[in-house]
């Protein structure tokens, strides 16, 4: 099957039908050097990641907390750019089984040109895209190209959105719906937000794709807790930190906590 939205969505559905919850880790491309990128992707894919979110280093990451900002700085020091990430994937995508989602701010895309970015992302086997600083109303600048390339445009929904907007974003989302579970920036927290059931229910009702919870999830307990009322989780800062510490066992344990054998 060729890469793209359909591949991403069928992979996620297969996992859910199998009785497992979804686990989407986030990594910062170029943290630890560009050579590490494929190793990390292979490791996460083999460890059972449902899809992998790959962050593109950027100098002004407004939604990123300290852990991811630091990782971004390390990647920028290695001079890793969007071009490099795309070229590395073009050469090595076949080594990674899991769907790949790019998480990038708008600026690097503009620098490359929207049309050539989408074209090259397709050649690199990118299945989905998250652009945190591109509001829904402005997405028409890229939507047409993505549709043609069959790359999923994933919507971020925040807790402060009105009921109407939550519904609207959930209906529009492709691949999965990204339910932000805190008011603030990314980063591991000691407790996850409780009482999100109404929020998740609204999202589930309106989404034709799975609903994943993200922000502040950092332990197997958090994963299990959040997965009870959603289709699964996205874990960023904790994964970035564990890779930085080369604590591969803890990464495996986190991913395992979304699997049905352990989940039940």
Which stretches of the chain bind ligand IGP, using CB under 6 A?
A: 26, 53, 55, 63-64, 68, 103, 132, 156, 186-187, 214-217, 234-238
d(CA 21, CA 70) in angstroms, rounded, equals 30
Of the residues 64, 120, 127, 174, which is catalytic?
A: 64
Residue with smaller CB distance to ligand IGP, 1 or 62: 62
In angstroms, the CA 31 to CA 71 distance is 6
Of 60 and 115, the one with the shorter C-beta distance to ligand IGP is: 60
Please name the residue that has the structure tokens 């054998």: 261
Q: How many residues are there in the chain?
A: 264
In the complex, the smallest distance separating the C-beta of residue 260 from ligand IGP, rounded to whole angstroms, is 22
Q: How far apart are CA 75 and CA 123, in angstroms?
A: 23
| Minimum distance of ligand IGP from residue 193's CB (angstroms) | 12
CB-side neighbour CA atoms (13 Å) of 239: 29
What span, in angstroms and rounded, lies between the C-alpha atoms of 154 and 221?
26
Q: Is 53 a catalytic residue?
A: yes
| Contacts with 262 (C-beta within 8 Å, 6 or more apart), sequence order | 256
Residue nearer to ligand IGP on the CB measure, 18 or 207? 207
* Under 8 Å between Cβ of 65 and 186: yes
The CA distances from residue 141 to 45, 110, 135, 164, in Å, are: 32, 11, 11, 23
Residue 215: CB minimum distance to ligand IGP, A: 4
Pair 158, 190: CB distance under 8 Å: no
Q: Show the CA angle centred on residue 103, arms to residues 99 and 104, nearest 5°.
A: 140
Tell me whether residue 188 or residue 206 sits nearer to ligand IGP (CB atom): 188
Residue 31 annotated as catalytic: no
CB of 131 to ligand IGP, least distance (A): 9
Q: Which lies closer to ligand IGP via its Cβ, residue 123 or residue 158?
A: 158
- Name the catalytic one among 53, 120, 127, 231: 53
- Smallest separation, CB 256 to ligand IGP (Å): 17
Which residue in this structure is represented by tokens 């590490």?
36
Catalytically active residues, by annotation: 53, 64
């Amino acid at each position: 099957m060729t890469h793209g939205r359909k591949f991403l969505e069928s992979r996620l559905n297969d996992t859910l039908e199998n009785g497992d919850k979804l686990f989407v880790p986030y990594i910062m491309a170029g943290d630890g050097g560009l050579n590490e990128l494929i190793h990390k992707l292979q490791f996460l894919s083999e460890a059972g990641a449902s899809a992998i979110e790959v962050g593109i280093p950027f100098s002004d990451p407004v939604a990123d907390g300290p852990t991811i900002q630091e990782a971004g700085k390390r990647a920028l020091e290695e001079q890793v750019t969007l071009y490099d990430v795309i070229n590395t994937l073009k050469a090595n995508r076949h080594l990674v089984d899991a769907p790949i989602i790019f998480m990038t701010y708008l600026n690097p895309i503009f620098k490359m040109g929207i049309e050539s970015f989408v074209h090259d992302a397709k050649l690199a086997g990118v299945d989905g895209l998250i652009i945190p600083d591109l509001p829904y109303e402005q997405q028409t600048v890229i939507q047409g190209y993505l549709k043609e390339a069959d790359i999923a445009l994933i919507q971020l929904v925040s807790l402060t959105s009105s009921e109407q907007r939550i519904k609207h974003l959930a209906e529009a989302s492709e691949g999965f719906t990204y339910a932000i579970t805190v008011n603030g920036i990314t980063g591991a927290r000691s407790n996850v937000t409780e009482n999100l059931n109404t929020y998740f229910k609204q999202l589930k009702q309106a989404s034709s794709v799975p609903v994943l919870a993200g922000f502040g999830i950092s332990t197997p307990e958090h994963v299990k807790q959040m997965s009870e009322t959603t289709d699964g989780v996205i874990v960023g800062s904790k994964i970035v930190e564990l890779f930085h510490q080369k604590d591969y066992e803890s990464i495996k344990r986190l991913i395992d906590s979304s699997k049905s054998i352990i989940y039940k």
